[in-house]
Structures are given as structure tokens and as C-alpha cells.
Amino acid sequence: MKPLGVILAGGQARRMGGGDKALLMLGGRTLLARVVARLAPQVAGLALNANGDPTRFEAFGLPVISDSISGFAGPLAGVLAGLDWAAEQGADHIVTAAADTPFFPHDLVEKLQAAGGPIALAATPHPKRGLLRQPTFGLWPVDLREDLRAALADGTRKVVDWTDRHNATMAAFSAAPFDPFFNVNTPEDMLAAERILKEGKA
């Protein structure tokens, strides 16, 4: 069965000068439109985790769910918002994807589900550090939402600090010809993304 999908766009985009990175244009389409196009076919339904005025995303026709933890608590707060939303839909799992990562794999969900474990995170190889986890791309069970809520209340903010407690598995993806989890954090990253598009590698 396909899980529900949640796009994480709750950050503050400081390195891009603030505002909504998800609405920046890449090759004539917003980053968010590119992420929606990749994730929607892989999931049973889709929501956007974002804070502030939700009407700025009206054109996408997605439910917008905000963090229940105040103060921009990071990706885990977005995961919790997604799990709460999924519980209301009667779903068992969600898959998350970052709104600033336009080239993630078309088989993301399939490989995350095949990885097993209560939680599975995407990972890519690094020549010196082994497999590097991609903490905003994961498969998360709704059953752990109260555990996550308690962890956030206790001050946990780093994704892997929480996932390690639950023996999260990894789903390995190739990093050739480029890292598919390359994300746009800076204006320089946007230029790199434009080069990837121009070269037809995505």
C-alpha cells in the first residue's frame, strides 16, 4: 500500500535570505511544483508542511499543515505534523520529502518501504564517510507520533538522535551522476541546480 506523502517546507531559508525557498523558480517551475510532481505518483495523498499564512500555497491545491511545536523546531516538527495529519486520515505511514530538493528519486517510496524497520531513511554513499543519511527523506509510522511528540517536548531536535532510538534502517540510493538529494540552500546551489537541468541529468 502507498503511504501518504508530506512535503517539508517549514524552514526559514536563512541562507537564501529568508522567504519561501519552495516558491523559487527553477527552469520555469517552482521548486515545490517539481517536488510535487516527483512525490505525488509515489503516494496515496499529499500534504504540505509549512508555517505562516497558508494562502500563499493555494495554487497547489494541497492541504497545508503547520507545526504544532512553536519556534521552528526543525524537520522533526514537520514530521510530527505530518503524522498527526495522517492519523486523521486513518493512514499507517507517511513519507517525507524536502521542498528544496527537486531531483530526489522516482523510486524513493518503493526503496524506503523495502528497507524494513519501523523507520527508514534515505541514504547516499560518501567516499570517506560511508552511507550518509538524508534525514528529511524518510518513511515514518503513525504509531510513533506520541513518542516523537514527547521527544520534541524534551528538546530533541536532530532527526537522527530520535531515529537512532528506534533502530531506523537505511535505503541506499546511487549518487551518480549527482546526489539525488542535492538541495537548494544558497543562490550558488540554485545555479548548480540549473546546470543539472541544462545538462539533462535529472
Mean pLDDT, the chain, rounded, equals: 93
Which of the four CATH numbers 3.20.20.60, 3.40.1110.10, 3.40.50.1000, 3.90.550.10 does domain 4-198 have?
Answer: 3.90.550.10
Confidence of residue 16 (pLDDT cuts 50, 70, 90): very low
% of the chain residues with pLDDT over 90: 84
- Enter the DSSP assignment of 3: P
Can you give the pTM of this predicted structure? Answer: 0.94
Question: What was the pLDDT predicted at 11?
Answer: 63
Q: Are 47 and 6 in contact (CB under 8 A)?
A: yes
Q: What is the pLDDT of residues 34-90, one digit of tens each?
A: 999 999 999 999 999 999 999 999 999 999 999 998 877 899 999 999 999 999 999
| 197 backbone dihedrals φ, ψ, rounded to 5° | -65, -45
* Long-range interactions of 48-54: CB distance < 8 A, separation 24+: 48/6, 48/7, 48/9, 48/99, 49/6, 49/7, 49/8, 49/9, 49/10, 49/78, 49/81, 49/82, 50/9, 50/10, 50/20, 50/22, 50/99, 51/10
